[in-house]
Structure 1
Amino acid sequence: MEKHEWLFSQVRWLFIVIAFVGMVIGLNTQLVDAKASSLETDFQRAAAKYQVPVDLLKAVAYNESAFDSHNGKPSVAGGYGVMHLTDTTGLTPSGADSKAVKVPNAASLHTLQKAAKLTGHSVSQLKTNSAANIDGGAALLAAYQKSSGKGLTSNIGSWSAAVKKYSQSDFQAAADFFAANVYKILAKGVNHNGAKISPQKVNALKDEAIDTTGESGQTDGPAGLPIEWIPALYKTFDDQGDYGNYDLADRPNDEKINYIVIHNTETSFQEALTLFSTPTYTTANYVVSSVEGTVAEMVRPQNVAWHAGNWYINSHSIGIEHEGYAAVGGYWYTENMYKSSAALVKYLADKYQIPLDRQHIIGHDNVPGLTPAAQKGMHWDPGTYWNWNHYFELMGVDLSKSDGSTDSHIITITPNDKTNLTADSGQKVTDDGVSLPLTGSNFVYLYKQPSFSADLIADKDFSSGQAGTTEKDDWGDKAVYGQQFSKIDQQGDWTEIDYGGQDAWFYNPGGANSTDATGKLVAAKGSKAVPVYGSAYPSDSILKKNKVTGIKPTPIYQLQPGQKYVYGGTVTSDYFNSHFNSNSPKNVIHGTDDYYQIQFNHRIAFVKASDTTLSDD
């Protein structure tokens, strides 16, 4: 072949390749557009059919589900689809730490049946077909508008009574909170999951101020939150000093509040309230319901609830329980609950100057044990399906937003919960061997080598096996959204980090599962390993001097030379030596040691400042 013929041949093939790639890209774009326009079309059609303002319909849907149909699976409150149409008939989600519990069977939790009558769609269609589900929501809104004595007008502001009714709440504050959130969505605008609401001027409902003086019968929470004071039990149980279920204190005057701990109840909302009101030696400061997002304040934030299984963390934290179950194949936490909880956390964080990050807004699963034995039995809620990304976004914090660093050695784990795990790679999540959904999980798996065929890492100090597992409660091989670690290396699509005393690899193609960040790193001083603790307690000698027995700082790990972990703040050692009916400052024993908090593995931990160095990234 002559030179010009060869060149013509190569150019021809180049054009063919470009045309093919263009066709594929065009086809993919059409598919994406089709998916996006399908949801938009469904909203437009349903709104026109039932004479409901389309943006109002979308705002109600976003407030209920963030435009996520959850593949036809119900929420923990029995809600289906983007409109969260409810049907709790026979619904018995079983939690990891409890037996099956029936969801309350209130009439308000059967809107699917009413929507079926209004639309002619079957209950099955309403559960699994997005178009039918949106029809159902639109039909209900129209029916509620008519029942309020108002016409099917295009004036969005006149639909507030119908929106409140859609909340299905008989508690006025909860209905008001639901409606206020809908109108805030309309004012702010949304572009998510293929549906869009343009920001618009609306007469948003005003929040009613809540008295936060903390006196008896009054609540401590943000304006507009549907919150009630339902006191937990506080009494002596015998004449030997036994008492419960919490401790009186004077926080933050006697001890700083550094953390907010997120739990889930593994019971119903009402059962949790009953539990904390009986002699059970357990409480939380707040409990949030899944159905309405109502909040029960049970222990004042200035007092110490018994919730975390670590006395040091209890002394310095506020505990919030959420109605629901940490792993129930496909069930999902409700938007009502997320919104109420996020509003509460943002308020508390501002009031007590708690940083809005994942070293201070932590799950129960991030709380370390005080001893090696205790570390093995620490809890793992709120679980692999708690949406930390969305939760922080509701607080106005985007943990996936880069701070502009270009040569960082610190990364934030920020996976997309729809693509972080893939079946093609062999990844799965299991509950006693039974597969759970991949979509919605909040972590990346950690491997011993940069390969899907490599073993998952195991917590060498506490695991009986040599390799990690895919079990939902095995936190030894999982890095979760928002956590930060020191980056060691990058090999192709794989990133290496320091994690719990090991080199761990996670799949990170093009940085899809992480975001560069800046901060400080903690390392061992000198050439010897230093202790890692589950608390920042004073020295043994100071505790003994104050007649505290049976308590001493106990190492749970070793920080080896060369390893680096992300700094989460400096605390000075203390111990809350509590007893019944006393919140005197003298009960707080202050030490002289400064500790650095670090993100050691899945759980936070503490190292003595005198044992370590602190350096900028």
Structure 2
Amino acid sequence: MARRFSRFGAGALAAMLAAAGLTLSSTSTASATDWGSCLEGPDDTQAVFARAAQVSGVPEDVLLAVGYMGGRWSHHAGQPSVSGGYGVMHLTDRPVAPVSAPDKGDAATGLPSRAGTLVVAGQRTGLSAERLRTDPVANICGAAAVLASYQPGTTAQGPAGWSKAVARYAGTADRQEALNYAGLVFDVIRAGATETNDLGDAVTLAADPGATLDTAAVAGDRVLRPGVQELECPSTIDCDVVEAQYRRTGPAVTQYVNYDLADREKDLSIDYLVVHNTECTYDVCTRLIKGEAEPNRFVSWHYTVRSKDGHVDQHVATRNVAAHAGNWYLNMHSIGVEHEGKAGEPGTWYTEALYRSSAQLVSYLATQKGIPLDRAHVVGHEEFMSSNYKWDPGPYWDWEHYMALLGAPIKPDRRSGPSQVFTVKPGFTDNARTLTGCFATETQPGRACPSFGTNYVDVRTAPSDSAPLVWGSTDLVSDRDARAVAGHKFSVAGRQGDWVKVWWDGSTGWVKSPTGKKSTLVPSQGEVVEPVRQSVPVYARAYPEASAYAGTPVPNQGQPTVTAPDGSVLTLQPGQRYVVADRTVPTDYYHAKSFDNSLPGDKTVVRGQQEYFQVWVGHRFGYVKAEDVRVLSGR
């Protein structure tokens, strides 16, 4: 009989490995599954398969069939096959190279390799590569961990439910090759098999003639990949691909730049189109996105629109998550479009060519992704809370002109009856102001701005031109806290002469809106929310409740709140009313922490039951929990 490998408990594992000159992987990212229990117990091959199935959740017949395809359940004394596979389960440390011609393109430029099954097994179980190669029990347990990681959260016990995992185990990025391999595995499941392996163990796989490969699941399993394989632009504009860099910056899989892989066509909705300005010239920003400047800086966006001629470059495929908003929830659900220009240099950069080209791009993307063309979904970076104080596209972006180019002009839209909902429409060229702090550099303070059209109305503490702005705001070009930008919707709380009292950031403010042609607010309609208790918090992200993370390897992300300008948590009070921007907000969190999506929980979308509403609360949008408010008609 072939030599047996001793088993030992999880507590003694590290010591035994050390004594043998082996170690647990120093970069282990072992999952919460107790893989020590898979190692313990009888070492008969049939018993190990049964135990690995129980611990991993992968059906035993699937494990057995995959193992049979490697070498008919033989261990081969830990020696590699001609293709570099080890052990009963043919674990390999060879990476899965990208195909030379991806489905949606003709180049594999920049595509990373996917980790081999031996590497993934080590990451999932914490076992060293040497252990996985030489110990048949560890080899089977490691392979079970790999298959489970390929379909996280799957509870199906029939083989068909694991078709995608089986195909991925083939170790190829070519879909047809993976499908062929999975077909061979399912042939074995249907026919059954009995063998005595080189360890002297009799192993049996009972036949399941009705087992069917789910080819649709295999065909729909897209290996996440960087790069832009298909240009996503309308044919009416000049558009090229200038790919954002995607590479590792250090030895750990968590060290990489500069966006995250996803499959948002399947897993996440794209709900927002975010308008940015670059704060750098087109040439400098091109060097930045390619990694030629600040190569280790984690920042990216999907598109850049050039000022002089409206030329567009796509940098990141829209299926992937770019790092453009400083708010992970907004990044998850948006496409970022940068416009060459500087928010503190009025009018210098926002050419008509830029406006028109951008409008055609955004209109195209809205149609492709099903995004409403309104100011609740075509938004400025400054209109959501971000981890770094951003105020682009700033006061000199002509929102009224831009929305008109999109075919969604800001205009009176009240259809019938009275309503307390109004929309900000201040004009632009006839809304000129002289602000301060323009043309600032890293070494030079800003100076007075020339008089130029702006896109907002002031929100003051009292109905007077001499009253202070709310939150102690100033005329500094970057000070946005007291500015209601074109397209913003208010619920009106009262009137006094030319002044309108509005709810703003948990309190009230006053906006000047004379009647007639000088009116800055136009009648609108919509639903409003009113808090049902004291101090209702406003949330910066619509993240799931804590219980939604149970049973996943993803840690609870909490429910971050919006910070008011004075540093406190922004809260709303009973009697206040804020206009609903969207009642169909997704409650989710996408976990992406590594370069190759190899860490536990990567690619997992945690979905919650908590219901949120997106609302206009001040200069930013926020989210409120449905249980904290009641929805009223706005009349």
TM class, shorter-chain normalised?
0.5 to 0.7
Letter in 2 for 1:574: D
In structure 2, the residue matched to 1:532 is 538
In structure 2, the residue matched to 1:590 is 607
Q: 1:563 aligns with which of 576, 596, 615?
A: 576
TM-score by length of 2: 0.58
Deviation at 1:544, TM superposition (A): 6.2
Q: Tell me the alpha carbon deviations over residues 541-569 of structure 1, each in whole angstroms, 9 at most, x when there is no partner.
A: 43465343473112231111111111111
Q: Tell me the alpha carbon deviations over residues 233-291 of structure 1, each in whole angstroms, 9 at most, x when there is no partner.
A: 11222221211211111113200001111111111112112111113210100011001
Q: Secondary structure of the equivalent of 1:393?
A: helix
Looking at structure 2, the residues matched to 602 and 405 of structure 1 have their Cα atoms a distance apart, in angstroms, of 28
Looking at structure 2, the residues matched to 444 and 529 of structure 1 have their Cα atoms a distance apart, in angstroms, of 27
Of all paired residues, the percent bearing the same amino acid is 37
1:452–1:545 CA distance, 2 compared to 1 (3 A): farther
Looking at structure 2, the residues matched to 289 and 306 of structure 1 have their Cα atoms a distance apart, in angstroms, of 20
Looking at structure 2, the residues matched to 421 and 225 of structure 1 have their Cα atoms a distance apart, in angstroms, of 31
Q: Which runs of 5+ in 1 are unaligned?
A: 1-213, 459-466
Structure 2 residue 325 is matched with structure 1 residue 308: yes
Looking at structure 1, the residues matched to 281 and 491 of structure 2 have their Cα atoms a distance apart, in angstroms, of 40
Deviation at 1:403, TM superposition (A): 3.3
Please tell me whether the aligned partners of residues 341 and 348 of structure 2 are also in contact (alpha carbons under 8 angstroms): no
Structure 2 residue 492 is matched with structure 1 residue 487: yes
Letter in 1 for 2:241: W
In structure 1, the residue matched to 2:250 is 238
Please tell me whether the aligned partners of residues 405 and 517 of structure 1 are also in contact (alpha carbons under 8 angstroms): no
Please tell me whether the aligned partners of residues 288 and 295 of structure 1 are also in contact (alpha carbons under 8 angstroms): yes
Structure 2 residue 475 is matched with structure 1 residue 470: yes
Structure 2 residue 424 is matched with structure 1 residue 418: no
Please tell me whether the aligned partners of residues 358 and 483 of structure 1 are also in contact (alpha carbons under 8 angstroms): yes
Q: 1:496 aligns with which of 501, 504, 509?
A: 501
Q: Tell me the alpha carbon deviations over residues 159-188 of structure 1, each in whole angstroms, 9 at most, x when there is no partner.
A: xxxxxxxxxxxxxxxxxxxxxxxxxxxxxx
Please tell me whether the aligned partners of residues 405 and 516 of structure 1 are also in contact (alpha carbons under 8 angstroms): no
In structure 1, the residue matched to 2:520 is 513
In structure 2, the residue matched to 1:542 is 548
Structure 2 residue 554 is matched with structure 1 residue 554: no
Letter in 2 for 1:604: F
In structure 1, the residue matched to 2:285 is 272
Please tell me whether the aligned partners of residues 420 and 513 of structure 1 are also in contact (alpha carbons under 8 angstroms): no
Please tell me whether the aligned partners of residues 581 and 614 of structure 2 are also in contact (alpha carbons under 8 angstroms): yes
1:216–1:321 CA distance, 2 compared to 1 (3 A): closer
Q: 2:407 aligns with which of 396, 417, 437?
A: 396
Letter in 2 for 1:478: R
1:405–1:434 CA distance, 2 compared to 1 (3 A): farther
TM-score by length of 1: 0.60
In structure 1, the residue matched to 2:63 is none
Letter in 2 for 1:360: H
Map 1:118-129 to 2 at 5 A.
none
Looking at structure 1, the residues matched to 313 and 414 of structure 2 have their Cα atoms a distance apart, in angstroms, of 37
Letter in 1 for 2:630: T
Q: CA RMSD in A?
A: 2.2
Please tell me whether the aligned partners of residues 421 and 444 of structure 1 are also in contact (alpha carbons under 8 angstroms): no
In structure 1, the residue matched to 2:103 is none
Q: Tell me the alpha carbon deviations over residues 81-110 of structure 1, each in whole angstroms, 9 at most, x when there is no partner.
A: xxxxxxxxxxxxxxxxxxxxxxxxxxxxxx
Q: Tell me the alpha carbon deviations over residues 414-461 of structure 1, each in whole angstroms, 9 at most, x when there is no partner.
A: 011133356xxxx75554673324431111111100001111101xxx
Deviation at 1:586, TM superposition (A): 4.9
Q: Secondary structure of the equivalent of 2:407?
A: coil
Q: 1:575 aligns with which of 563, 583, 589?
A: 589
Looking at structure 1, the residues matched to 307 and 524 of structure 2 have their Cα atoms a distance apart, in angstroms, of 34
Task: Give the count of matched residue pairs.
Answer: 385
1:500–1:283 CA distance, 2 compared to 1 (3 A): same
Looking at structure 1, the residues matched to 243 and 538 of structure 2 have their Cα atoms a distance apart, in angstroms, of 37
1:585–1:251 CA distance, 2 compared to 1 (3 A): farther
Q: Tell me the alpha carbon deviations over residues 284-320 of structure 1, each in whole angstroms, 9 at most, x when there is no partner.
A: 0001100111000000111110000000100000000
Looking at structure 1, the residues matched to 507 and 345 of structure 2 have their Cα atoms a distance apart, in angstroms, of 31
In structure 1, the residue matched to 2:624 is 607
Q: Which has the higher mean CA deviation after the structures are superposed, 600-609 or 399-408?
A: 399-408
Map 1:339-350 to 2 at 5 A.
339-350=356-367
Looking at structure 2, the residues matched to 524 and 304 of structure 1 have their Cα atoms a distance apart, in angstroms, of 34
Looking at structure 2, the residues matched to 446 and 216 of structure 1 have their Cα atoms a distance apart, in angstroms, of 43
Looking at structure 1, the residues matched to 432 and 453 of structure 2 have their Cα atoms a distance apart, in angstroms, of 9
Deviation at 1:496, TM superposition (A): 1.2
Q: Secondary structure of the equivalent of 1:542?
A: helix
